[in-house]
Amino acid sequence: MRNTVAPFPATRLRRARKSPALRALTRENALSTDDLIWPIFVRDGEGVVEPVPSMPGVNRLSIDKAVEAAREAHALGIPAICIFPYTDPALKTESCEEAWNPDNLSNRAIRAIKAAVPEIAVMTDIALDPYNANGHDGIVRGGEIVNDETVEALVKMALAQAEAGADILGPSDMMDGRIGAMRRALEAAGHPNVAILSYSAKYASAFYGPFRDAVGASGALKGDKATYQMDPANSDEALRLVERDLLEGADMVMVKPGMPYLDICRRVKDAFGVPTYAYQVSGEYAMLQAAAANGWLDGEKVMMESLLAFKRAGCDGILTYFAPAVARLLAGR
Ligand code: PBG
């Protein structure tokens, strides 16, 4: 692209910034409610709204409350909600079979939300960590996270979620070969229209800390996730992963975390031009909320600025815990 600049004073770039009207006319990117996916945490019980201490403003919701949240999201114009389960520790095992139980918490939440608010797209998480006694996303054998056996488990999990009515499956596990295996299984089982938003470039990040509190996986996790999640030092590898997932049948791809990885978002969008999403993860949310709570940052302004940055980096949408607050602000409510 040529971005021609005549010599001063023929060009004075400040002319386009002189008033709100000129700035509005020359603005390149905009954040809209259409860009938001709202991640929520569900737990057992009824009428329960339980705050997550490391994520001020975020709660674990019992299914009835999650349905209310979905209604609120739909009324605000948020197109999609993403469900993460806080699983009863007594249901966590080394073989993770609760993950593909058709009546597990996540699948019950999907059914309840789709019954009450069919218009909202329900996205899921596919990984074994909420069900795994050792907190890993895959099955552990002799200290190793085994790939192919994990993929078989993930396929069962994907089918149970599709059966429950999920619109978008979100494999966040980073095993090799899982997208192709899920896509084939979905076709064979009569779910040709279930979309896959692959967590293609998911980094082994310390920014997931508060999320692991929220789903109750922090205490359980033994070791780290570096043998399956990406090395934060890598960039070219993200393009290989995205291309691989697209060739295996992913409809949409994700970069995660968000703000520290905007360079990756831009490279992915430029290289493939496919629907590209970023996850503004729990640690990013916690940082902004903590600084705002101390009066060190203007919470509303940094929320909007941080999300606009994803649009500028080429993202089509953002998973963010700020979704309802943003939607209310954009709607002037
Ligand atoms: C589970 C999963 C994680 C997140 C989404 N899905 C945590 C992890 O990989 O340890 C993180 C989301 C967040 O931090 O907000 N596989």
The two structure tokens encoding residue 245 = 């997932």
pLDDT at residue 74, rounded to an integer: 98
Q: Is the CB of 137 under 6 A from ligand 1?
A: yes
pLDDT at residue 277, rounded to an integer: 99
Q: Is the CB of 213 under 6 A from ligand 1?
A: no
Q: How high is the mean pLDDT of the chain?
A: 97
Residue 231 binned pLDDT confidence (cut-offs 50, 70, 90): very high
**126 secondary structure, DSSP code:** B
256 is catalytic: yes
pLDDT at residue 219, rounded to an integer: 76
pLDDT at residue 69, rounded to an integer: 98
Report the 3 state secondary structure along 23-90. HHHHCCCCCCHHHEEEEEEEECCCCCEEECCCCCCCEEEEHHHHHHHHHHHHHHCCCEEEEEECCCHH
State in Å: Cα 238 to ligand 1 middle: 18
Q: Is the CB of 245 under 6 A from ligand 1?
A: no
Q: The tokens 């966040």 sit on which residue?
A: 172
Residue 31: pLDDT over 80? yes
Residue 158 binned pLDDT confidence (cut-offs 50, 70, 90): very high
Mean pLDDT for the stretch of residues 19-42: 98
Better-scored residue on pLDDT, 304 or 5? 304
Closest CA to ligand 1's atom 6: 172
Mean pLDDT for the stretch of residues 121-125: 98
Q: Is the CB of 199 under 6 A from ligand 1?
A: no
pLDDT at residue 218, rounded to an integer: 76
Measured between alpha carbons, how far is 213 from 44 in angstroms, rounded to an integer? Answer: 16
Residue 17 class from Cβ within 10 Å (0-12 exposed, 13-18 middle, 19+ buried)? Answer: exposed
State in Å: Cα 281 to ligand 1 middle: 8
Mean pLDDT for the stretch of residues 305-313: 98
Closest CA to ligand 1's atom 5: 172
Q: Is the CB of 281 under 6 A from ligand 1?
A: yes
State in Å: Cα 233 to ligand 1 middle: 19
Q: Is the CB of 125 under 6 A from ligand 1?
A: yes
State in Å: Cα 211 to ligand 1 middle: 6
Measured between alpha carbons, how far is 191 from 184 in angstroms, rounded to an integer? Answer: 10
Q: Which amino acid is at 120?
A: I
The closest of 210, 218, 214, 155 to 187, measured between CA atoms, is 155
Task: Using alpha carbons, list the distances in angstroms from residue 88 to 80, 183, 247, 282, 306.
Answer: 26, 30, 37, 21, 34
Segment 38-94, tens digit of pLDDT = 999 999 999 999 999 999 999 999 999 999 999 999 999 999 999 999 999 999 999
Segment 103-112, tens digit of pLDDT = 999 999 999 9
State in Å: Cα 207 to ligand 1 middle: 9
Which of 202, 225, 269, 311 is the catalytic position?
A: 202
State in Å: Cα 71 to ligand 1 middle: 25
pLDDT at residue 309, rounded to an integer: 98
Q: What is the pTM for the complete model shown?
A: 0.97
Domains in the chain with CATH codes: 31-330 (3.20.20.70)
Residue 333 binned pLDDT confidence (cut-offs 50, 70, 90): confident
Atom of ligand 1 nearest to the CA of 209: 14
Atom of ligand 1 nearest to the CA of 207: 14
Residue 3: pLDDT over 80? no
202 is catalytic: yes
pLDDT at residue 100, rounded to an integer: 98
Q: Phi, psi at residue 320, to the nearest 5°?
A: -150, 140
Residue 216 binned pLDDT confidence (cut-offs 50, 70, 90): confident
The closest of 118, 229, 119 to 171, measured between CA atoms, is 229
Closest CA to ligand 1's atom 8: 208
pLDDT at residue 5, rounded to an integer: 85
